[in-house]
Amino acid sequence: MAPLLELRGLSKSFGALAVTRGVSLAVAPGEIHAVIGPNGAGKTTLIHQISGTLRPDAGQVLFRGQDVTALDLPARARLGLARSFQITCIIPGFTALANVALAVQARSGSSFRFFRRAEAEEALNAPARAALERVGLGHRAGAVAGTLSHGEKRQLELAIALASAPSLLLLDEPLAGAGPEETARLVALLRALRGDYAILLVEHDMQAVFALADRISVLVYGQLIASGTPEEIRAHPEVRAAYLGEDELA
Amino acid sequence: MTALLRRQALPLALLLALALVPVLGVQDGFSLGLLARAMILGIAATSLSLLVGGAGLASLGHAAALGIGAYAVATLDLLGITEGAVVFPAAILAAALYALLTGLVSLRTGGVHFIMITLAFGQMVYFATSSLSALGGDDGYTLYGRTEFLGARLLEGRLPFHYLCLGLAAATWLFCSMLLESRFGRVLRAAKEEPMRVRALGLSPYPYRLVAMTIAGALAGLAGALMANAMEFVSPAILSWPRSADLLFMVILGGVGHLHGALLGALALVLAEEVLSHLWDHWRLLFGPLLILAVIFLRGGLAGLPALLAQKLVQTLDRRAR
Ligand SMILES: Nc1ncnc2c1ncn2[C@@H]1O[C@H](COP(=O)(O)OP(=O)(O)O)[C@@H](O)[C@H]1O
Ligand SMILES: [Mg+2]
């Protein structure tokens, strides 16, 4: 099957610091592809280049076979790339429901509508509520997003991403800072999403990564040192040496 | 619509009070003239509040749009055109066009740069009008007469003019409230709080902000046309940058985030100016500290005052009860 997302020789430097060094990888439709690597390896920077937040110095980003390297963040989002942020990025003054309804609004028809109250539009609220239910946040729909707990904000980010009905989800550490219960729920949710969405998952929680991923790529100092199934990565000597502690593999 | 009315008891009370002023016997030209000026500035301030509170765009050149509306009236007057069906649309379109063109440039930047560029454009218009010798240059231009409607001199009467200004102030507030609650307004408000989130959803804030600036400019142009009629005189002072700063003060004093606060702020500023200037020649010295105190102690501005007082009252009653 043709890959949904393909990176070809992506490179990016901040001054003298090479943060992405010739990264090539492919994400197939419906698969969860995890990118792991130590802090500072360049995972977030890689996500930025895929989403269009940052322009690579060299290389190409292909989405559904189309070269999108020159497109900016909004243009790529319109093509079906949805992303969550490592640092929570929600509208703090909006209710949780309005946050998600904005995502529905962004993908459905025009936002140049001036007179009807957006908050009263069931056509936006119903899918938004469904997305909130799906991430387990239905009971908090009316809460102002800024007042949600950290874990709830992570769930909200995921609901926003789902509501924009993407074909590829870019998730940057969706489990970071979530408590054990929230983590369990989010992992179950991500597992339920597999097949419906392709997901590029950056995550530090190794248990979650090995439980969820179809494929894993390992990024160290901006370079992919290995890419394969979870079993292959588990057995990979270089990966064990460079990154994975023995205990995490046990 | 009914929902809007229910949630907006305070602004409606304010508008009702303004409607009752003449009924309660205040009908002298001086008082009504003062109120008309306040309501007209209130229209301009409300349109600025749409930008500041709704979109996070603190323009320091909004008086230029107001002035362009006023100068449109003067220019047409010079050409002998006083028909309202021509004058008002012309004033509105001219100001909207100005806002659109300056928005195209200023919205490419953000924060302090946006403020500086809107200020610079405003100054350009100021100097341009100062050098318009046909319209009196710095000395300004006295209108031959007020704008007419199909030959009827509707705007000459104090009461009709009062209610026209009030009606347009109310319509402006209602219109801007509806805009902010629409899909369009939701994008504006979201982009004010977290532009990255909006962009990640596939919406680029720029065109929304540009439309908002154009609409705000059009409304300021309407206010300018009214102002020219209220004063029967137009001079560059109407679009000097301190005038833009005054408009911003009105928005902040009234309460950013409450659209009707802008009208409150305009009333407060115009009336305070009137009272203070009678008390003391150097009243502007008092003005600054008063504004500073208002900003520090009235976080929600004048519009937030009722809620603040109610909260204090409840707290006191609670303490008594215990
Ligand atoms: N905008 C930037 N300017 C300069 N250096 C940056 C910038 N963003 C990230 N970096 C650096 O690039 C490296 C990779 O960062 P990042 O992609 O956030 O890593 P990760 O997400 O894997 O922890 C780090 O050393 C970081 O300090
Ligand atoms: Mg990171």
Q: CA-based angle B21:B25:B26, to the nearest 5?
A: 60
Q: B83: CA distance to ligand 1 center in Å?
A: 64
3-state secondary structure of B4: helix
The model carries a pTM of: 0.92
Statement: residue A45 has pLDDT above 80: yes
- pLDDT tens digits, one per residue of B215-256: 999 999 999 999 999 999 999 999 999 999 999 999 999 999
Q: Are residues A33 and A50 in the same domain?
A: yes
Same domain, A63 and A45: yes
- Closest Cβ–Cβ partner in B197, B203, B208 for A91: B197
Find where tokens 């199934």 sit. A229
Q: In a 10 Å sphere around its CB, with 0-12 CB exposed, 13-18 middle and 19+ buried, how is residue A93 labelled?
A: middle
Phi, psi of B131 (to 5 degrees): -100, 5
- Whether B187 and A102 lie within 8 Å, measured CB to CB: yes
Residue B210: count other Cβ atoms within 10 Å of its Cβ: 16
Q: What is the rounded distance in angstroms from the CA atom of residue B171 to the CA atom of residue A62?
A: 50
Say yes or no for a CB contact (<8 Å) between B197 and A164.
no
Q: How far is the CA of B176 from the centre of ligand 2 (A)?
A: 41
Other beta carbons within 10 angstroms of residue B24's beta carbon come to 8
The percentage of residues in chain A with a pLDDT greater than 70, rounded to a whole number, is 96
**Cβ-based contacts of B55 with chain A (< 8 Å):** none
10 Å Cβ neighbour count for B79?
8
Which pLDDT score, from 0 to 100, does residue A8 have? 97
pLDDT tens digits for range A219-243:
999 999 999 999 999 888 888 776 6
Give the nearest chain B residue to A76 (CA atoms). Answer: B202
Instruction: State how far residue A16 is from chain B, nearest Cα, in angstroms.
Output: 27
Last residue of a domain, one of A138, A165, A192: A165
Among residues A165, A183, A217, the one where a domain terminates is A165
Distance between CA atoms of B162 and B18, rounded to whole angstroms? 9
Instruction: Report ipTM for this prediction.
Output: 0.90
Which residue of chain A is at minimal alpha-carbon distance from B190?
A91
Is the same domain home to A114 and A136? yes
Residue among A81, A99, A114 with most chain B CBs within 10 A, to mutate = A114
pLDDT higher than 50, residue A250: no
| Whether A107 and B202 lie within 8 Å, measured CB to CB | yes
Provide the pLDDT confidence category of residue B310 given band limits of 50, 70 and 90: confident
Residues A113 and A179 in one domain: no
| Structural domain range at position A123 | 88-165
Query: What is the three-class DSSP state of A218?
Result: strand
Q: CATH no. for residue A206?
A: 3.40.50.300
Give me the percent of chain B exceeding a pLDDT of 70.
98
Ligand nearest to the CA of A12: 1
The top-level CATH class assigned to B2-321 is mainly alpha
Q: What is the pLDDT at residue B1?
A: 57
For the Cβ of A20 lying below 6 angstroms from any atom of ligand 1, the answer is no
What's the token pair of residue B257? Answer: 């985030």
Which of A63-67, A243-247, B290-294 is predicted least confidently?
Answer: A243-247
Q: Are residues A26 and A103 in the same domain?
A: no
Q: For residues A45-63, give the mean pLDDT.
A: 96
Q: Are strands A58-63 and A66-67 parallel, antiparallel or unpaired?
A: antiparallel
Confidence at residue B207, expressed as pLDDT on a 0 to 100 scale: 97
The runs of H, that is alpha helices, within chain A are 43-51, 73-79, 96-107, 122-134, 150-163, 180-193, 206-212, 230-235, 237-242, 246-249
Q: Which residue's alpha carbon is nearest to atom 6 within ligand 1?
A: A14
Q: Measured from the CA of A43, which atom of ligand 1 is nearest?
A: 22
Closest CA relative to residue B297, chosen from B248, B255, B247: B255
Whether residues A154 and A101 fall in one domain:
yes
| Bridge pairing between strands A198-202 and A168-172 | parallel
Interchain contact, B179 vs A114, CB within 8 Å: yes
| Amino acid B155: pLDDT | 85
Say what the pLDDT of residue B7 is: 75
Helix axes of B158-181 and B183-193: crossing angle, nearest 10 degrees: 70
Asked if residue A58 has pLDDT above 50, the reply is yes
* Pair of tokens at residue B81: 């055109």
CA distance, residue B212 to nearest chain A CA (Å) = 11
How do residues B16-29 score in pLDDT, each as one tens digit? 999 999 999 888 98
Are residues A74 and A13 part of one domain? yes
Q: What is the pLDDT of residue B5?
A: 66
Count of C-beta atoms within a 10 Å radius of residue A116: 12
Q: What confidence score (pLDDT) does residue A53 get?
A: 94
- Quote the pLDDT of residue A118: 95
Among B183, B193, B199, pick the best mutation site for testing chain A contact (most A Cβ within 10 A). Answer: B183
Per-residue pLDDT tens over the stretch B253-304: 999 989 999 999 999 999 988 888 888 878 778 777 877 888 788 878 888 8
For residue range A152-167, list pLDDT tens digits in order: 998 999 999 999 989 9
Which residues from chain A sit within 8 angstroms of residue B180, using beta carbons?
none
CA of B150 from ligand 2 middle (Å) equals 68
Give the per-residue pLDDT at B319: 85
Q: What integer best gives the mean pLDDT of chain A?
A: 91
Task: Please give the interface size between A and B, counted as residue pairs whose CB atoms are below 8 Å apart.
Answer: 97
Give the Cα separation of A148 and B266 in Å (integer).
37
Asked if A8 and A51 sit in the same domain, the reply is yes
Q: State the Cα–Cα distance between residues B322 and B317, nearest whole angstrom.
A: 9
Mean pLDDT over residues A106-123, rounded?
92
**Residues B167-209: tens digit of each pLDDT:** 999 999 999 999 999 999 999 999 999 999 999 999 999 999 9
CA distances from B163 to B13, B20, B33, B231 (A): 16, 10, 12, 17
- Domain end point (choices A165, A200, A233): A165
- Domain assignments of chain B as residue spans, ordered by start: 2-321
Structure tokens belonging to residue A207: 């248990």
Query: Do residues A59 and A42 both lie within one domain?
Result: yes
Angstrom CA distances, A204 to A31, A174, B96, B194, stand at: 19, 9, 52, 26
Neighbours of B123 (CB within 10 A): 17
> Which chain B residues touch A if contact means CB-CB below 8 Å?
3-4, 178-179, 181-187, 189-190, 193-194, 196-204, 208, 211
pLDDT at B322 over 80: no
Nearest bound ligand to the CA of residue A35:
1
The CA-based angle A191-A201-A246, given to 5 degrees, is 90
> Domain tally for chain A?
2
Q: Give the whole-angstrom CA distance, residue A150 versus residue A154.
A: 7
Mean pLDDT value across residues B11-39? 93
